[in-house]
Structure 1
């Protein structure tokens, strides 16, 4: 089984994907970190890389081809990606929703704890900066995937589980996702 996990910034998708992979003994592949690394190699922040990708399809298409290849060749994977639901249609597709405000609050908290900015955008010095960055990132993601593939990546009907995690603790969010995945694994037996 391949499980694709997507969600808005700050929704808890990395935490859920990491815990899910550990609980199931699956490999975790995190496309977001690969995008951040490519941005670093180009001397850009993630925000700059996303803006560049709006007019340079190579910023997305190489990753999407990689995702498609994984879907054809591998199994027992938790894949964290915005587009895996589309490129691996046989995956179990999970989307984690969160309000922009709550997502920004969570990211700001993580930045304060980690004392680093995850290569997000320059000048993230307070909650308002992070909220503005989250909104710009969502606009860029929406524009790019609509432009390149005609996809609304936030459309609930694309997903097997669309969970609003705005008011959920990380533990409750993970447990709800795990319960759903385990029910699907039982159906396959």
Structure 2
């Protein structure tokens, strides 16, 4: 089974995707890790590399191509990135979107990156605007369109353990053979 976990920075998607992969004994592939590695290889900060990506579309397109290839060739994977739900649309069994209010996400990012909350908030807004513009230009994707996702979860309401429990329950209730889930009613899109 191929699961995608998407969401904005600070939503908990990396933590949740890693925990979900561990719980299911699946491989975890993080688009964010790949993007950060590419930035480090060029000796650039994430902000600088994001700015470069605005000018050089080959950066995003290469990353997205890699995500599509993984979705086409691997099984038992939790694929995590902002666009993984879109890039793996034809092959994903379950697509999950995680989110939290901007203030919560900024606090998480600030704690993780050891920076002031206001700086994290400003950088997060700038990054989101930059990425939304690129996704629209490259693929015609409106990142705020959540209609493609099978489940949408506000992680501000749940801790990491509870989020993982919910995601594991969703994954375990899904039958890829019938393309139906039983959590608790199949064929219904859930927002938590």
Please give the range of the TM-score, normalised by the shorter of the 2 chains: 0.7 to 0.9
- Out of 103, 106, 115, the residue aligned to residue 104 of structure 1 is 106
Residues 99-147 of structure 1, C-alpha deviations (whole Å, 9 max, x = no match):
11100111112234xxxxxxxxxxxx31111111111111111111111
Q: Distance in 2 between matches of 1:143 and 1:127?
A: 24
Q: Which residue of 1 aligns with 2:173?
A: 183
Give distance in 2, aligned partners of 1:67 and 1:58: 14
Q: Secondary structure at the match of 1:153?
A: coil
Q: Distance in 2 between matches of 1:7 and 1:135?
A: 14
Displacement of 1:185 in angstroms is 4.0
Matched residues in 2 for 1:40 and 1:8: separation? Answer: 21
TM-score by length of 1: 0.88
Q: Structure 1 residue runs of 4+, over 3 Å off?
A: 185-189
1:54-101 alpha-carbon deviations (Å, 9 max, x no partner): 121111000111111112211100111122212211311111011111
Question: Aligned-pair distance for 1:188?
Answer: 5.8
Residue equivalent to 1:115:
none
**Cross-structure match for 1:46:** 46
Pair 1:8-2:26 in alignment: no
| 1:134 equivalent in structure 2 | 124
The worse-fitting range, judged by mean Cα deviation, of 179-188 and 12-21 is 179-188
2:186 equivalent in structure 1? none
Partner of 2:189: none
- More moved, 48-57 vs 17-26: 48-57
> d(CA) in 1 for partners of 2:52 and 2:152?
29
CA distance in 2, matches of 1:45, 1:185: 42
Give the conservation status (yes or no) of the 8 Å contact 2:24–2:168: no
Give the whole-Å Cα distance in 1 for the aligned partners of 2:75 and 2:62.
20
Cα deviations by residue, 1:167-189 (Å, 9 ceiling, x for unpaired): 32222222112211111148669
How many residue pairs were aligned?
177
Tell whether the 8 Å contact from 1:49 to 1:59 is kept in structure 2 after alignment: no
SS of aligned partner of 2:5: strand
Give the 3-state SS of the residue equivalent to 1:93 in structure 2: strand
Does residue 93 of structure 1 match 2:88? no
Alignment gaps of 5+ in structure 2:
181-192
